[in-house]
Structure 1
């Protein structure tokens, strides 16, 4: 990959979801496969971007996302 990230399709995009790790609910805005390495060795992970009730977005592992 040449970019440090890539958008990934997800069935819950733009739907109300819950982050099971924190219990926070919001709208799933994007799922992005990101290189999260800070050592120079690539480490890719899929992160879910959720917009909470305050309008602020937060990230969680995509495996933590479930329909609300």
Structure 2
């Protein structure tokens, strides 16, 4: 089995984003291409976004669920 993960560049890194699946906003900390397979015979890779919420806890979501957070009104 090859490497388990690899970092992927993303235009929203270190910016405020929203996870459309949960509605939670936070800072996009990393995007990782991760091998989630359970055997060496068939690899299964997914791109996960790591978002740090206001609480300080990080959670993951599919990269396709990440969008820029709405700018608060001035």
Which category describes the TM-score, using the shorter chain as reference length?
over 0.9
Partner residue, 2:54: 53
Match of 1:63, SS state, is helix
Describe how 1:1-68 pairs up with structure 2 within 5 A: 2-38=2-38, 40=39, 41-68=42-69
Deviant stretches of 4+, over 6 Å: none
Task: Name the count of aligned residue pairs.
Answer: 67
Give RMSD over aligned pairs: 1.1
TM-score, with structure 2 as normaliser: 0.87
Deviations 1:11-63 (A, max 9, x none): 0000000000000000000000001112x121001000000011000000000
TM-score, with structure 1 as normaliser: 0.94
In terms of fraction of residues, the more strand-rich structure is: 1
Structure 2: segments with no counterpart, 5+ residues: 70-74
Query: How many Å separate the matches in 1 of 2:18 and 2:36?
Result: 23
